[in-house]
Amino acid sequence: MSQERRRWPQVGAVGVLLAGLIGGTAATAEAAPRPVVASVDAIVGTDRAVVVAVRCTKSARCQGKVKLTVAGAGTRAKAYRVKRGKATKVRIVLTAAQYRKVAAKKRITTVRVSAAGRQVVKRKVVLRAARPALRVRGTEVDVAADHVAQVSVACGSAAVRCTGSATLRIAGKAGAARPVRVAAKGVATLRFPLTSAQISALGTDGGWVGGQVRLTETTPERVAAGTAVRLRMHGEGHDHGGSEGESAAYARGWTPTQYDTCTRAEHNSYAATGPDGKLYPSWHPPVHTRADGSTCTFGHEHGDDPTSSDIYEWAIEQFRAENPEAEGIPFGYGSEMLSEYSEIYGGGVHRHEDDPGQKVVVSNDQQMGVDFVDRYGDTQPLVCDHLIKAHQGSHSGDATKNNTHELFYALACNDGTKLHTYLMSNYGNANELHASCTRPFTAEHPEARAVQTIGSVLPDGEGGSRIIPTADCVEQYLKNGTENGTDTVDDRRGSPAASANSWWWAGYEQWQSFNSITDAEGKEIARFEPWFGLQNPSRYYVGNGATDTQVAYFNDLAWQSGNQQSWAPWRTQASGSATLIDRKSPKAWFNGAIRDAWITTTKVDNAEADTAVVYADPWGKNAKSTRSPASIRTYISRTDNTRYVTRTTPSVTNRSTRQHEGLQRKGATAPATLGFFYDYGTDAQGNSLGVHAPN
């Protein structure tokens, strides 16, 4: 039923005609049960449903029948029962024949409501078929070389977003249904990866082939409609409009390994359109369901489903402020802007990161552990929604030297604080990491030990760190260590799967970001420092006394001598195979999928600004109200929370007592395992989703 339509006081706007409030019988005494028709939804969708809202007076319970008599098409009836003073909605489904008549022409329909066997209410309405709000824009579709067809659709609703699904048929061959989600009065591009049968039907001669796009709308109306289109293969070398239409991240894309059963085209079908109009990779589930019901695996996961965020729509609206066709979270947008920035202003810094390492974090209604005084003078706990996309690769030597990784960060809190930004985040210095087993947790290690590496040309950071497992940590706490450690806060235990506690600092990997947005005068107007942790990284740093980026792999320790051979997960790995399991196989436990996020308060000091929208460089600096080339649009609320937000660095103390900082995140779409951690490589029943390194 439409969320836009008004009820009876204004039903004339949708063609509903009143023919009298009361039927021909005399009014009964107030003591008698008396139903009242509150409204009639007179617009009929493909579900053929007409909904009559019946309210009962306070005198007694009402029960009886609601009858619809469609002019020239017969009567339908349904019983109802309402408590006194209450209301109910009676859903009457027209017959197929009745619906065909309504669809062909508006039909005057009599609504009769009876109580205690006699008619007490009679109204007349005009039924008409629902008109789709979703429509296809353009009927000629060029299919690119990756065999993905793009179809633009628009939402004609002025107040409610359009949702539903879409299917593409080519010469009678159907593909998988694609979800549709378009903002009110917005547009979106649907991407259909073609099946092998559809590709064969298109041929290679470049001729037009007939097809149909069928849009099945669920809101604002339940209605389906097909639009005839014609398609053709555009020819080799044409791929979504060439380089001007693609981001570097999309062009690099993802290539299936021997363990993956999904195709590159199926992966590309989940692309997003960025604020710059380019195509980008975006979030997808680790398992893809095809049109025939079969499934395939991508071998990697991207964390939480961003659409589960309470602020997802607001976040996308910020992208659409620059490009009305923007949709989804564009993976690689920060890196794309950094490349443009370097080309324009010099410096030669580029950063292109792999697709599997893109991870989304959703945290809804998170208690932040501080209070504020609202505008009415009442003290309130600070509660925030977070939607974050970080890049965290744990399978190669890249992070042992490179400190810069892109970060999307959106925030909305109940004190009015809002932030929406995309930037390049520095996690400490380039060519430097910190050993995981020396992190500052007890007096034994007041600060983590820095390890020098080599090979990066990226600038040093203003703060943050990359705490990465090292060979000496493995030697001391795994090969020669104890499984459970010595006490409840011991972070030197040997096994990541030990039951004693949930931390494994000997091999646990933690990336501590530091992000400060400053204006053109250098004033800090926002600061945020989320940390991202990994309980099962694929690799650890070796070094061997040399300044390099050499790594080895945790998976392989199951077949190497040491105490770890008798502990889970290595014992389980070795018991399943007498020979080494490929570290890139889904059978390998160390796949980078068991993660946590440390999220604490964000500082905003922007109350004196003229506008909430600024344009910053890819590092979050020199933010100003006017756009400059390669700048990134950033929204920072015109608020000031510095009176009560005094810390933006996560606290180990809060963590160990299970307070705040995203421990139990509402919105996380993975099962919680090992205490604080979410396992994105398994489903809720613990079944593997085919995830493996690189992830």
Mean local confidence (pLDDT), 435-443: 72
pLDDT of 145: 66
CB-CB contact of 331 with 281 (8 Å): yes
HSE-CB at 122 with a 13 A cutoff on CA atoms is: 12
The CATH code that applies to domain 8-129 is 2.60.40.2060
Mean local confidence (pLDDT), 18-47: 59
425 vs 187, more confident: 425
Q: Supply 394's token pair.
A: 């744990």
CB-CB contact of 334 with 632 (8 Å): yes
Residue (of 594, 581, 633, 629) closest to 611 by Cα position: 633
pLDDT of 13: 33
Q: Supply 408's token pair.
A: 């999307």
Which helix (H) or strand (E) segment holds residue 571: the answer is: helix 570-576
Q: How confident is the model at residue 224 (pLDDT cuts 50, 70, 90)?
A: confident
* Cβ-count burial 119-141 (b if 16+ within 10 Å, e if not): bbbbbbbbbbbbebbbbbeeeeb
Q: How confident is the model at residue 113 (pLDDT cuts 50, 70, 90)?
A: confident
Q: What is the mean pLDDT of the chain?
A: 86
Task: Give the integer Cα–Cα distance in Å for 383 and 304.
Answer: 20
Examine the pLDDT at 16 and tell me if it is beyond 50. no
pLDDT, tens digit, 9 for 90 and up, residues 59-97: 778 888 888 898 888 899 999 888 888 889 999 998 888
Strand partners, 514: 426
pLDDT of 519: 97
Cβ contacts of 645 within 8 Å, gap of 6 or more: 370, 382, 601, 602, 603, 604
Examine the pLDDT at 1 and tell me if it is beyond 50. no
CB-CB contact of 377 with 386 (8 Å): no
Residue (of 55, 41, 34) closest to 13 by Cα position: 41
pLDDT, tens digit, 9 for 90 and up, residues 481-525: 888 766 555 556 778 876 655 567 788 999 999 999 999 999 999
Q: Supply 294's token pair.
A: 């079969």
Question: Which residue has 């959106």 as its token pair?
Answer: 410
Q: Which of 183-197, 452-466, 628-642 has the lowest mean pLDDT?
A: 183-197
Task: Give the integer Cα–Cα distance in Å for 539 and 591.
Answer: 9
pLDDT of 186: 80
pLDDT of 591: 97
Of these ranges, 173-187, 498-512, 567-581, the one predicted with the greatest mean pLDDT is 567-581
pLDDT, tens digit, 9 for 90 and up, residues 238-297: 333 334 688 999 988 899 999 999 999 999 999 999 999 999 999 999 999 988 889 999
SS3 per-residue string spanning 252-276 = HCCCCCCCCCCCHHHHHCCCEECCC
Task: Give the integer Cα–Cα distance in Å for 68 and 45.
Answer: 16
pLDDT of 241: 34
pLDDT of 467: 94
669 vs 663, more confident: 669
Residue (of 496, 694, 668) closest to 582 by Cα position: 694
Question: Which residue has 């068991």 as its token pair?
Answer: 594
DSSP string spanning 326-343? -BS--TTHHHHHHHHHHH
Which helix (H) or strand (E) segment holds residue 226: the answer is: strand 223-233
CB atoms within 10 A of CB 675: 13
Q: How far is CA 635 from CA 86, 308, 348, 548, in A?
A: 45, 21, 28, 40
CB-CB contact of 535 with 596 (8 Å): yes
pLDDT of 239: 36
Examine the pLDDT at 33 and tell me if it is beyond 70. no
pLDDT of 240: 32
Percent of the chain with pLDDT over 90: 52
Mean local confidence (pLDDT), 596-607: 96
- Angle in degrees, CA 419, 420, 423, rounded to 5: 120
Cβ contacts of 555 within 8 Å, gap of 6 or more: 538, 573, 581, 583, 588, 589, 590
pLDDT of 658: 64
Domain ranges of the chain: 8-129, 134-316, 317-679
Strand partners, 44: 129
CB-CB contact of 409 with 428 (8 Å): no
